[in-house]
Structure 1
Amino acid sequence: MRIAAFLVTGFVLAATPTMVSAQAASSAPPPDEATLGEIVVTAQRRVENLQNVPIAATALSGDQLAAKSVARLDDLQFAAPSLSVTDAGLTQSVNIRGIGISSGSPAVANGVAVYINGVFQPPLLTTSSFYDVASVEVLRGPQGTLVGSNSTGGAIFINSQAPDTSGVGGFVQGSYGNYDHRTLQGAINIPLTGNLAVRGAANYDKRNSYFDDIGVFNNHPDRLNEKAGRFSLLWTPGSLRMLSHLEWIDKQTGGYAYSPIPGTPYSAGATGDARTLDFDAPTRNHERGFLADTELRYEFDGGITLRSLTGYANKRVNNLYDSDATSLNTAALPPSTEDQFVREREFVQEINLISPTTGRFNWILGGYYQRNKIDVDILNTNGSPVDPTHIVIYNNKTTTGLFAQAGYKITDRVEFQLGARYSHYSVTQEGGVAIGYGTAFGPTGLQVADLGNSHKDGRLTGKANINFQIDPDNLIYAFAARGYKPGGANSATSQFQPETVWDYEAGWKSTMLDGHLRTQLGLFYMDYQRFQFDFVDTSSGQSGVINVANSTIYGLEGQLQAKVHGLGLDAGFAYVHSKLGSLLAVNSRLVPPGVTLGPQCGAIPTTGCTDYTPFIREAGGGPNLFSPRFSYNFGVDYAVQLGGDKTLTPRLNYAYVGPQWSNYFYEPGFSRLRGRGLLSALVTLRIGKWTLEGYGTNLTNKTYVSGITGNNRFLGAPREYGLRAGVRF
């Protein structure tokens, strides 16, 4: 607490009296040196100035991510308007404007597509730390032309620092904080020849748990031990440019930390303290990932570029759960556990032809292929007479697409753009649900549900927009865009259909005050069809996916950045209003503990089965899930010149994410995530190439629910503080 108070006090002392004197000091930077630098984005296959791109987006450099305390994907919601990231255990629910992913099923695609170095990432293993990052780009709204068939909500691009041939360089940075939190990361860039360079980067992140488990197994849920390394190669012989990455990630957390929601059956076993857990089963979480990609760009004499992107990912996760999150063990409330293994392998290939932008007419042509293979193996117990239950799923997905986008400058200031993409999706699924695994029913149990099925669909998506460049500093744009997310199969008797969305937007981007102020402002209206969400499949008794209803979404978003002398300001806000239609579905919260199997059990004793009909209720009729109506963030810093090459820069950040619902039954005590406002601070002393920083996050030590899964809830990180030192060379 004293360190947090020191950080805040240090900011106030440094930013008030010294602010006045620094402005008068001869060492203060002149106005022309305190303007905003250009924001570069690459999500549209070209290197472009964000202020000239007709799209709602937030782009942050690696330094800006650190300044805003963004260390992982879920931290981005406190830096980018309309973005919501909630904990769901194995995966995270990433949503933009209330559209994205609201399901943990391997059958469903994520509507906010996450890309690392241009390669689409499965939702597994996206919670690892950022390190040696060049930029992160958050694109809001459907990206139905260039990005693909599963970006109804938007897309997030994470770009690593690329090697360069200019010279040897790099950095080393380490930190120590409360919870015995230790980090060490660094990178080194080495030119081998005039056109060949390599870069190595590594990250180590270890801390104790935010929680104390008093159970008999001495678990350490949420304890972090993360290691990662990346090797990059850049080769530029003549007109060819080749950039390759190889990355390895190993992350262990000791299991997920959650507790029963008050008022649910197992909440009687809660300890009464939010940070104290009482598990009666071993917990574990081990995630491993291998990522590889190569981008080739060849520029022909006329300026046309041929681009190829090849990517591969292999991600594996092993989990042990105490599913009821307590030590209760009664006939009415039996212990519930789960042993889970998930593996996903992916291959991606994209080909583009990209024209130059020097003339009136420009264009991009492309083809896309993606293959995903998912293996799921789950063994769970819930106290039923036919324990344990064995669930096996083998899922093979193929996504293909052809797309084109063209722009024509009607005048020097007015451009019309038109893009279209046809995507085709197919999935083949095998597997089943067996009860009594390894008991009297035999070594493989008795199969009571067939999860095998196949599904195919496809849609035409695209975008039409008009751009008016009033002057070099002001762009006005309007467009209509269509996005699509594929359907899939739940079981032999159940499928779900694709989602589609029409998005209508208008925006204004401006650079003012001779480059000292930059703004974005946008309006949007979205017509969303066949929203996909988790439900209980009554034919199998397992979790599946359903098209719940249609939705309308509209709102307003804005961003601002300013820099005058040493003073820097940034802010973003979003207002999102949504309305989800109604439907009938099983309210799984009403299903008694120990019941997971449906009426398909047949000759199996009825005590091991259930009829879900009594638990069907009317749902929907409220806002979209994981869609806060209001969210905003702002930050302020001031660089105080201390003479020579020394500066002291205190900074404060505040971010607010409003209340949101995690379930379409809208039960206030069980599925409502309250809004939270988080304060962070950073004080940075720079002396030449060296930096020393004091940092603090969640300075008010706010306790807040960061996600809900079933009848359990996750909590966000408590107050953290520490010191960080680094050097660049």
Structure 2
Amino acid sequence: MNRASSSLNLLKNPLYTAISLICASSVALAQTSEPKILEEVLVTSQKRVQTLQEVPISVAAVTGEKIERMGIENLEDLTAYVPNIHFTETGLSTQMRIRGIGSDNSQGFEQSVGVYKDGIYHSRAQLFRAPIFDVERVEVMRGPQGTLFGKNAIAGALDIITARPTNEFEGQITAGYETEFKTKEVNGYISGPLSDNLQGRIAVRYYDDPGFMFNTTKNRDEPDSEEKSVRGSLAWQPNDKWDILLVAEHNKFDVQGRAIEITQDVASISTTPPPGGVGGLTFQQILGASFGASIDSEADYRRQINSPEISNNKIDSLTLRADYHLGDYTITSLTGGLRFEYDENCDCDFTPVDFFSLDMYEDYKQFSQEIRIASPEDRAVTWIAGAFYQTYDQSFDDDFNIPLTSPLQVLVRDRAIPAYQVQFPFLQYSPRFGGSQVARRFNQSSDIWAIFAEATWRATDRLSLTLGARFTEEDKDADKTINVLDIATGDIINDTDLANIFAIIFLTDTEQGTGHNVRGSRSESAFTPAFTITFDVNDDIMTYAKISKGFKAGGFDPRTNKASRFEFEEEKVTAIELGSKMRFLDGRSEMNVAVFHMDYEDLQVSQFDGAVGFNIGNANSTIVQGIEIDGRVQLTNNLLGTYGVAILDFEYDDFTNGNCYFGQQPDSTVGNDKFCDYTGLRGVYTPEVTINAGLQYIQPIGSLELAASLDAQWVDKQQVHVNLDPRGEIDSYTMLDARLALEAENWVIALLGKNLLDEEIISYSANVPLSETFFQTNTYYSFLRRPRTIAVEATYRF
């Protein structure tokens, strides 16, 4: 369970904090004699350059300056600065959620949060782990964005805009060192003109992190990661009609170990003694008594893993954007090529005992092309229209390995689980069990095309109506095989007894045999309209109302062990949002408010099956609603305040086919499948309240500047267990980051602190494989976020 550290008194009551900050801003502004207007933030969330206050959706923008200043390395770091967005890494995938909606554990899922880089869709979960460096800004759009961003942005969209080449020569290099865990980082770029109409930019990043957990079995720190990134871009203006941008990027990041440890261990409910033990023991006691293995089950950044754990990742992307100005119209061509591959080994029994290991490999290739035309912006009716095409090929392999030394041989040979003997009297021991593996092979391909348009009519000086729609069609094909192989030779083992053993371990559809060879094809189409009314109350207050439809494709699950669950259905949403963008006090204060209600149909959910796999199901109806408030306040000429409040209500309105957590009494049974009714419950990562507050202070000191930043986020208690086990609810926590810097024209020296309150934050929990099915204990493994870190940074600009 999460151990919450003591927090600052100011932040113990988040609502009081937000209200106090807003009230304090008014007092400070009233006393300031020299007004300073807030700088406008430009965004492209509507495929046009607009100020943040003009956009009639709930959108947050984090500038490249903020990302650099606060040491934001990746999407996980970004979540500490934007309410209602969540990021987590699991043992099998990476997940991102907006307003509690995201994609769970399956390499077959399209992503509910559409992540884009320079307008190119990054559609697979593993791409979320890529670093963020040398960017202009990151835009976070909450709620379905189906018209302009496509079918899978059903929860929202996140667009990473990289820094463009400059017309003037400039460069920068930054080196950082974290004192507690010895993390080292170097970032740099060079940018400038190559000729009169050609500019170039190259950016590089190197990151070396020995890890913040200690593996007591291997006597080393983990996860040990090394990241190398390079991006090159060229901007070319052959004449006054063309603007062409080419961006090529390569990322390589390799990791040994994981930020996983066993965090809870509830005693066995079985009265049948496991081998060499007695009934009523914890998993820790059983491992010690039966196998001489020692584990600790506290959340203390100490883990016990013996098998090799690696994650080697490589991502390559190429983006070509060409803007052609045809009179007052702009034609844009956006071409993207993307490939990634990774090779992982997971000690997924999460113990120092050689029960089993899991090897995974994925190779993904994607090509996309978008062409759109935008009308002039100074007309009573403005519009944008276009067409989109994307194709991808994906292969995913994973091998469940039983080593020759695995104690599972003893458990099966001695029939240590009487329940299995009763349910499966045919079970016989096979001497070929050790040294075998269950190999899953999955291939998937997709072709997508879409047409879209959006038009805005300025009916009066204050009233605008916007109508948009997108029609999407996708053809998807997939196949999967499961076979039992000899690890040494790779040959298929035709052994009925061995197949039966794996059938029980994997909880497959049938009582005898695990192998299956399945194929599937899907052809889906979707029409996703949106309608927005915008009304300017006056020059400083804009209000809007929007209703929209969203769609996320169905597909095929590469990791389920049940042929009957190979295919899953698409999900849909109808969303209503009411909002306002407001300026106060002569442009020195801004406040944005959004009230939303979203009705999801057939929400895709993946949950642990209690053995070694995950099953995907569709929740018939899910209601998500809430309020988001954010803003900026120029408190004085030297002090800027920011704030954000998100209140989220999430409820499964009709979800009768959820996977039960350990010990939960099933509400229904279909064949071997046991289901629990989750109707009326909240989902994972749905804190009721999230509060953000920040201060940025700049004070000239002669020719230098003293710059200080303080950012805090309070997150309410929430459920992080994939099967909604009540023990998986974590307490509220406060993230506090700060930066103190001395800046000159060409150099910066800074001290940066993250998680200064040293909160111990569990970001994901699930049951340890086999603990439930073999030992009947309620044992959890969890991912933990990094504890307090303090780093020094030095920057040189030229």
Name the TM tier (shorter chain). 0.7 to 0.9
2:656 maps to 1:631: no
2:604 maps to 1:523: no
Distance 1:620 1:66, change over 3 A: farther
Does the aligned pair in 2 maintain the 1:297–1:305 contact within 8 Å?
A: yes
2:363 maps to 1:296: no
Which amino acid letter does the alignment assign opposite residue 711 of structure 2? N
Does the aligned pair in 1 maintain the 2:660–2:676 contact within 8 Å?
A: yes
Distance 1:691 1:485, change over 3 A: same
Match of 1:420 in 2: 469
2:372 maps to 1:381: no
- Rounded Cα–Cα distance in structure 2 between residues aligned with 1:65 and 1:482: 32
Q: Percent identity?
A: 25
- Rounded Cα–Cα distance in structure 1 between residues aligned with 2:247 and 2:397: 30
Does the aligned pair in 1 maintain the 2:617–2:657 contact within 8 Å?
A: no
CA RMSD for the aligned pairs?
2.7
Distance 1:659 1:282, change over 3 A: same
Which amino acid letter does the alignment assign opposite residue 343 of structure 1? D
Superimposed CA distance per residue, residues 115-156 of structure 1 (whole angstroms, 9 cap, x where no aligned partner): 011111122132232211100000000001000000110000
- Rounded Cα–Cα distance in structure 1 between residues aligned with 2:663 and 2:362: 28
Match of 2:171 in 1: 170
Unaligned runs of 5+ in 2: 1-27, 267-281, 286-293, 403-407, 410-429, 500-513, 665-669, 769-780
Match of 1:713 in 2: 782
Match of 2:667 in 1: none
Q: Secondary structure at the match of 1:548?
A: strand
Deviation at 1:714, TM superposition (A): 0.3
Match of 2:380 in 1: 360
Which amino acid letter does the alignment assign opposite residue 485 of structure 1? K
Does the aligned pair in 1 maintain the 2:70–2:752 contact within 8 Å?
A: no
- Rounded Cα–Cα distance in structure 2 between residues aligned with 1:458 and 1:673: 40
Does the aligned pair in 1 maintain the 2:574–2:600 contact within 8 Å?
A: yes
Which amino acid letter does the alignment assign opposite residue 619 of structure 1? Y
TM-score of the two chains, using structure 2 as the length reference: 0.80
**Matches of residues 456-605 of structure 1 in structure 2 within 5 Å?**
456-490=523-557, 493-494=564-565, 495-535=567-607, 543-563=614-634, 564-580=636-652, 581-587=654-660, 589=662
Distance 1:390 1:451, change over 3 A: same
Deviation at 1:498, TM superposition (A): 1.0
Does the aligned pair in 1 maintain the 2:484–2:492 contact within 8 Å?
A: no
Matching residue within 737, 746, 755 for 1:698: 755
Deviation at 1:104, TM superposition (A): 2.3
Superimposed CA distance per residue, residues 539-560 of structure 1 (whole angstroms, 9 cap, x where no aligned partner): x995342112311111110111
Q: Secondary structure at the match of 2:265?
A: coil
Q: Secondary structure at the match of 1:75?
A: helix
Match of 1:310 in 2: 335
Match of 2:134 in 1: 132
- Rounded Cα–Cα distance in structure 2 between residues aligned with 1:298 and 1:236: 10
Which amino acid letter does the alignment assign opposite residue 251 of structure 1? F
Deviation at 1:454, TM superposition (A): 1.6
Deviation at 1:244, TM superposition (A): 1.0
- Rounded Cα–Cα distance in structure 2 between residues aligned with 1:504 and 1:36: 30
Match of 2:277 in 1: none
- Rounded Cα–Cα distance in structure 2 between residues aligned with 1:398 and 1:221: 40
Which amino acid letter does the alignment assign opposite residue 545 of structure 1? I
Deviation at 1:617, TM superposition (A): 3.2
Deviation at 1:177, TM superposition (A): 1.3
Superimposed CA distance per residue, residues 661-693 of structure 1 (whole angstroms, 9 cap, x where no aligned partner): 245742121x33433211111101111221111
2:349 maps to 1:324: yes
Match of 1:596 in 2: none
Match of 2:42 in 1: 40
Does the aligned pair in 2 maintain the 1:588–1:615 contact within 8 Å?
A: no
Does the aligned pair in 1 maintain the 2:91–2:348 contact within 8 Å?
A: no
Distance 1:90 1:472, change over 3 A: farther
Deviation at 1:228, TM superposition (A): 0.2
Match of 2:276 in 1: none
Q: Secondary structure at the match of 1:253?
A: strand
Does the aligned pair in 1 maintain the 2:212–2:221 contact within 8 Å?
A: no
Distance 1:30 1:649, change over 3 A: farther
Match of 2:479 in 1: 430
Does the aligned pair in 2 maintain the 1:144–1:482 contact within 8 Å?
A: yes
TM-score of the two chains, using structure 1 as the length reference: 0.88
Does the aligned pair in 1 maintain the 2:115–2:159 contact within 8 Å?
A: yes
Match of 2:7 in 1: none
Distance 1:185 1:536, change over 3 A: closer
Does the aligned pair in 2 maintain the 1:82–1:96 contact within 8 Å?
A: yes
Deviation at 1:642, TM superposition (A): 0.8
Which amino acid letter does the alignment assign opposite residue 450 of structure 1? N
Which amino acid letter does the alignment assign opposite residue 756 of structure 2? L
Match of 2:98 in 1: 96
- Rounded Cα–Cα distance in structure 2 between residues aligned with 1:182 and 1:663: 33
Superimposed CA distance per residue, residues 560-580 of structure 1 (whole angstroms, 9 cap, x where no aligned partner): 111221011001110010110
Does the aligned pair in 1 maintain the 2:661–2:723 contact within 8 Å?
A: no
Does the aligned pair in 1 maintain the 2:692–2:713 contact within 8 Å?
A: yes
Match of 1:342 in 2: 362
Does the aligned pair in 1 maintain the 2:608–2:766 contact within 8 Å?
A: no
Matching residue within 204, 208, 214 for 1:206: 208
The range that moved more, 709-718 or 580-589, is 580-589
- Rounded Cα–Cα distance in structure 2 between residues aligned with 1:340 and 1:518: 48
Q: Secondary structure at the match of 1:515?
A: coil
- Rounded Cα–Cα distance in structure 2 between residues aligned with 1:413 and 1:41: 22
2:186 maps to 1:184: yes
Matching residue within 392, 398, 408 for 1:372: 392
- Rounded Cα–Cα distance in structure 1 between residues aligned with 2:490 and 2:54: 65
Does the aligned pair in 1 maintain the 2:684–2:724 contact within 8 Å?
A: no
Which amino acid letter does the alignment assign opposite residue 461 of structure 2? D
- Rounded Cα–Cα distance in structure 2 between residues aligned with 1:189 and 1:442: 54
Does the aligned pair in 1 maintain the 2:361–2:398 contact within 8 Å?
A: yes
Does the aligned pair in 1 maintain the 2:222–2:259 contact within 8 Å?
A: yes
- Rounded Cα–Cα distance in structure 2 between residues aligned with 1:297 and 1:480: 31
Which amino acid letter does the alignment assign opposite residue 331 of structure 2? L
Does the aligned pair in 2 maintain the 1:251–1:288 contact within 8 Å?
A: yes
- Rounded Cα–Cα distance in structure 2 between residues aligned with 1:261 and 1:427: 40
Q: Secondary structure at the match of 1:46?
A: coil
Deviation at 1:536, TM superposition (A): 6.5
The range that moved more, 581-590 or 275-284, is 581-590
Q: Secondary structure at the match of 1:531?
A: strand
Deviation at 1:651, TM superposition (A): 1.9
Deviation at 1:317, TM superposition (A): 1.0
- Rounded Cα–Cα distance in structure 1 between residues aligned with 2:675 and 2:663: 9
Match of 1:407 in 2: 456
Q: Secondary structure at the match of 1:514?
A: coil
Distance 1:537 1:176, change over 3 A: closer
Which amino acid letter does the alignment assign opposite residue 346 of structure 1? Q
Which amino acid letter does the alignment assign opposite residue 514 of structure 1? D
Distance 1:629 1:588, change over 3 A: closer
- Rounded Cα–Cα distance in structure 2 between residues aligned with 1:229 and 1:138: 24
- Rounded Cα–Cα distance in structure 2 between residues aligned with 1:551 and 1:430: 30
Q: Secondary structure at the match of 2:678?
A: strand
- Rounded Cα–Cα distance in structure 1 between residues aligned with 2:477 and 2:563: 11
- Rounded Cα–Cα distance in structure 1 between residues aligned with 2:687 and 2:517: 38
Match of 2:121 in 1: 120
Deviation at 1:221, TM superposition (A): 3.3
Distance 1:438 1:380, change over 3 A: same
Aligned residue pair count: 675
Does the aligned pair in 2 maintain the 1:152–1:483 contact within 8 Å?
A: yes
Q: Secondary structure at the match of 1:624?
A: coil
Matching residue within 726, 729, 739 for 1:682: 739
Superimposed CA distance per residue, residues 428-466 of structure 1 (whole angstroms, 9 cap, x where no aligned partner): 111211124447994476761224212221211021011
- Rounded Cα–Cα distance in structure 1 between residues aligned with 2:152 and 2:144: 9
Match of 2:290 in 1: none
Q: Secondary structure at the match of 1:619?
A: coil
Q: Secondary structure at the match of 2:67?
A: helix
Superimposed CA distance per residue, residues 345-370 of structure 1 (whole angstroms, 9 cap, x where no aligned partner): 11111110111110100111111111
